[in-house]
Amino acid sequence: MTAHTRGSGTNWVGRSIRRLEDPALVTGQGRFTADLPAVHWVRFVRSSIAAGKIQSIEAPPGANIITASDLRALKPIRPVLSKFNYVPVGQPILADGVVRFTGEPIAAAYAASKDQAEDLADQVEVVIAETTALVDGPLALVEGAPLVHAEAAGNVIVEGRVRTPGFDEVWRSAHKVLRVDARSRRQNAAPMEARAGHAAYDPATGRVTLTCTTQMPHLTRTAVCDIIGIPEAELRVIAPDVGGGFGQKMSLAVEYVLLVWLARRLRSSVAWTEDRRENLIASFHSRDQHIELEGAFDAGGKLIALSADIIANIGAYSCFPTTCGVEPLMALAELPGPYDVSAYNCRARGVLTHTCPMAPYRGVSRPVITFAIERLMDKAAAAFGIEPTELRRRNLIDKFPHTSPMGLMFDDGTYKETMEIAIKAVDLPAFRKQQQVARTRGRYLGIGFATFSERTGYGSPAFAARGMEITPGWETVHLTIDPSGFVEARIGASPHGQGLRTTLAQIIADEIGIDPQFIKVVHGDTDRSPYGWGTFASRSLVLSGGASLIAAQKIRAKLIKMASHMLETAPEDITLKSGSAHVIGTDRSIAIATMARAAYHQTHIFKGEIEPGLTETGTYDPSGTFSNACHTAIVEVDIDTGRVEVKKFLVAEDAGLIINPMIADGQVHGGVAQGIGNALLEEIIYDETGNILTSTLADFLPPTAREIPELELHHLETLTGNTITKAKGLGEGGAIGAPAAVINAINDALSSFGVSIDEMPATPQRIRAALRSSGKLR
């Protein structure tokens, strides 16, 4: 760890200052979409059938109902990839003749209140001729299966393949080959706040303001305007306080398009608040993957080749803007993870089914591929008769930069070091003794490790490699000091719980010598913030932080130049701190607020040498950086019932320079909790007809505080050269490593039974079934 001093040296970066956004949130002053009043309330009539043809839609006479026939002028949502044999399928705003998943919106009823709209929606009679539903990814690939979209032959919507040169020779030289058949069941990100939208038409300007729970306000504006066919100037999108997104609120909701269209048609305000059932069945799902993974090892336990066949069940439609390729293609690109292996063979397919569309969810694919490869490593360790950590020691990358078999460049990291910290912190030898003693008493304790990389903060070149028609990347920050001396940073990122108002203020504060409390970060409003991509992919601190730093450096340079004029001193003798410009080595100074006044009101004193005003723009588009971590879980399995208790959880991670340790810890805590839910509890279940059985939070089970142990966190700070702030992203790592660590711990606990639990969530039913099949129960 290196001490760091930048800018004025006031060192706000690195301190756990309290979050500037919290006072409003914890005193009930947060502003959420569903708080807004509206003239009309919308209730969607949703399909109760997974697959079929709509034969009739009947509403009471005079009822206010919108159906696909009213929306003929709207384009479907049709995101595009130019690579990987992607088939661009369209999603209508309301089902148009065909339904493709249970919960798909068929009609929109509107009335003067939520209750009346729901009453009205209830009276809409939809007759659907049911056809065969495809629910399971692998089954949708069976020859002769019905097609979800006629244009996607074999139901394959995207397919990526790679086979490194000389793969077969390496494979043939293997000493041992280990195999994992990894199955990750479907999840819902289940944010605390479900989706909500409110569209208000302004008769004076003809503009609509869409307030909604989005992670991407500008992309929402672009998409909605493209679909409806209006200039972007006619739509303002606001993301107010948003109660968690986790990726689910990154993808475009058809519901928001309908709201904007209806507000224009009615020349009024219309609103929709998603209920929990709608969220669970018809907001976006995630994680549904089947990975057949094989690893070839040499006699020394070194992984020499990896081979995988990946099937991602992407549901009925492709999400905008990333496309459904995000799951299978990220699996293809990042499966080798932090291991030093160069021979790689992989096929990754996205498969259409009659299920809710999949979209990114915290971790995106990596919780699943990490689970698969970490199971492989543990199986290999068992086959070689060594500790899982020793096998990892022989395989983790330790020379940087490292180039993966897919050509990804890994910057400096601490893959081995974080694991050694974890081993020491849990005292692995002592645990092994404790485990033995417990076993003699009929108690089954296990320890599991997961070592992984987290690709974060990547810019447009990385996204362009996927061939996305819409290629995200850069971020822009507009930084202004107003005449009163207050600082406003307008950003294109769109935080929704990540604490970015605080961390960006810390970065800016260090550069211009102003306390963060005087720095206001403005986001989530297309009228007030510059075009940007929003918040996703562990990017915002790196991208928006980098852009903030660049803008702040420019402001700093301008302030010094102004101070040089006003103090009649050479610029190199001036420093900024504590809200003033100081002449080094003297007691002469001038307040930044005074200079700010001058920048607007006394510009003549600069004799035309300094532009009026105090606004600078920073734009940042980095190559990307890899964070890394080792997660360690200690569990106890109740073999009579199959229940798992997570007794201890430890994270040793490295996300570069930590801007605010408290906020960083919070990100890890939340991610780990979701990862434990992934490993043990959360599962969206369809029956074979495509009816969804987990439509309440009594059936779909996120963990509560009672299921999450106290977490022990250790940070290393490798100051990466790949970002200008030296920070890496860490928003997703908690969710990426935890599932694998927990599942490995379960398998370690059950090693004497010779079973392998390779399916998530590892429910008590599945664990007990595996134990029974072992034939070794008493």
Partner 1 sequence: MKPASFVRHVPRTTEQVVDALAEFVPLDGRILAGGQSLVPIMAFRMARPAHLIDINEVEGLDRLVVDGDFLSIGAIVRHGAFHKPVVEGPLGRLLSFVAHHIAHYPIRMRGTFCGSLAHADPASEWCLVAATLGAKLIAKSVRGERIIEVDDFLEGIMSTSLAEDEFLAEARLPLLPRDTKFGFYEFSRRVGDFAMAASLVTYRLANGSIVDAHVGIGGAEDRARRIPEAEAILNAQAPAQDLFVAAAEAAANAIDALEDIQTTAEYRRDLVRAVTRRALERSTL
Contact call for residue 768 and partner 1 (CB under 8 A)? yes
Residue 438 or 769 having the CB closest to partner 1: 769
Please select the residue that binds partner 1; options are 173, 403, 517, 765, rule is CB under 8 A.
Answer: 765
Integer Cα distance of 647 and 414 in angstroms:
26
Please select the residue that binds partner 1; options are 139, 141, 465, 769, rule is CB under 8 A.
Answer: 769
Residue 392 or 768 having the CB closest to partner 1: 768
Integer Cα distance of 203 and 205 in angstroms:
6
Q: Are strands 343-352 and 303-315 parallel, antiparallel or unpaired?
A: parallel
- Report, in Å, the least distance between residue 387 CB and partner 1: 32
Contact call for residue 687 and partner 1 (CB under 8 A)? yes
Segment contacting partner 1 (CB under 8 A): 94-102, 247-255, 662-670, 701-709? 701-709
Contact call for residue 16 and partner 1 (CB under 8 A)? no
| Cα three-residue angle 405-458-398, rounded to 5 degrees | 45
Residue 702 or 733 having the CB closest to partner 1: 702
Contact call for residue 139 and partner 1 (CB under 8 A)? no
Please select the residue that binds partner 1; options are 115, 169, 527, 609, rule is CB under 8 A.
Answer: 115
Residue 350 or 690 having the CB closest to partner 1: 690
**How far, in whole angstroms, is CA 766 from its chain's centroid?**
28
Give the residue from 323, 327, 326 showing the smallest Cα distance to 312: 327
Assess whether the previous peptide bond of 401 is cis (omega < 30° from 0).
Answer: yes
Contact call for residue 714 and partner 1 (CB under 8 A)? no
Give the chain's length.
778
Residue 126 or 450 having the CB closest to partner 1: 126
- Report, in Å, the least distance between residue 43 CB and partner 1: 9
Residue 118 or 340 having the CB closest to partner 1: 118
Integer Cα distance of 417 and 678 in angstroms:
27
Residue 7 or 703 having the CB closest to partner 1: 703
Contact call for residue 80 and partner 1 (CB under 8 A)? no
Contact call for residue 701 and partner 1 (CB under 8 A)? yes
Give the residue from 303, 297, 294, 298 showing the smallest Cα distance to 397: 303
Site string for partner 1, 225-264 (x = CB under 8 A): ----------------------------------------
- Report, in Å, the least distance between residue 681 CB and partner 1: 7
Contact call for residue 276 and partner 1 (CB under 8 A)? yes
Q: Are strands 580-583 and 589-591 parallel, antiparallel or unpaired?
A: antiparallel
DSSP per-residue string spanning 699-753: TS----GGGSPPEEEEEE----SSSTT-B---SSHHHHHHHHHHHHHHHHHTGGG
For residue 763, CA distances in Å to 620, 642, 644, 678, 769 come to 44, 7, 8, 10, 10
CB 657, CB 718: distance < 8 Å: no
Q: Which residues in the 662-681 window bind partner 1 by CB under 8 A?
A: 681
Determine the 3-state secondary structure of 242 from DSSP: coil
Residue 135 or 651 having the CB closest to partner 1: 135
Segment contacting partner 1 (CB under 8 A): 117-125, 259-267, 352-360, 512-520? 117-125
Integer Cα distance of 657 and 2 in angstroms:
9
Assess whether the previous peptide bond of 761 is cis (omega < 30° from 0).
Answer: yes
Contact call for residue 441 and partner 1 (CB under 8 A)? no
- Report, in Å, the least distance between residue 53 CB and partner 1: 26
Q: What is the number of other CB atoms lying within 10 angstroms of the CB of residue 127?
A: 12
Cα dihedral: 610, 612, 615, 621 (round 10): -50
Please select the residue that binds partner 1; options are 275, 398, 469, 527, rule is CB under 8 A.
Answer: 275
Integer Cα distance of 146 and 140 in angstroms:
8
Q: Which residues in the 390-419 window bind partner 1 by CB under 8 A?
A: none
Q: Which ranges of 441-499 would DSSP assign to H, the alpha helix?
A: 460-464
- Report, in Å, the least distance between residue 122 CB and partner 1: 7
Contact call for residue 443 and partner 1 (CB under 8 A)? no
CB 306, CB 377: distance < 8 Å: no
- The number of residues that bind partner 1 (CB under 8 A) is 30
Segment contacting partner 1 (CB under 8 A): 474-482, 586-594, 636-644, 667-675? 636-644
Q: Which residues in the 142-161 window bind partner 1 by CB under 8 A?
A: none
CB 91, CB 75: distance < 8 Å: no
For residue 420, CA distances in Å to 306, 427, 434, 733 come to 25, 10, 20, 18
Residue 667 or 694 having the CB closest to partner 1: 694
Contact call for residue 528 and partner 1 (CB under 8 A)? no
Contact call for residue 119 and partner 1 (CB under 8 A)? yes
Contact call for residue 277 and partner 1 (CB under 8 A)? yes
- Report, in Å, the least distance between residue 776 CB and partner 1: 15
Type of residue at 715: H
Please select the residue that binds partner 1; options are 39, 141, 266, 685, rule is CB under 8 A.
Answer: 685
CB 88, CB 39: distance < 8 Å: no
Integer Cα distance of 527 and 242 in angstroms:
18
Please select the residue that binds partner 1; options are 703, 729, 737, 739, rule is CB under 8 A.
Answer: 703
Please select the residue that binds partner 1; options are 313, 418, 538, 763, rule is CB under 8 A.
Answer: 763
Segment contacting partner 1 (CB under 8 A): 222-230, 376-384, 549-557, 633-641? 633-641
- Report, in Å, the least distance between residue 707 CB and partner 1: 6
Residue 111 or 716 having the CB closest to partner 1: 111
HSE, side-chain direction, 13 A CA sphere, residue 291: 37
Residues that bind partner 1 (CB under 8 A): 114-115, 118-119, 122, 275-277, 638, 640-643, 681, 685, 687, 693, 696, 698, 701, 703-704, 706-707, 763-765, 768-769, 772
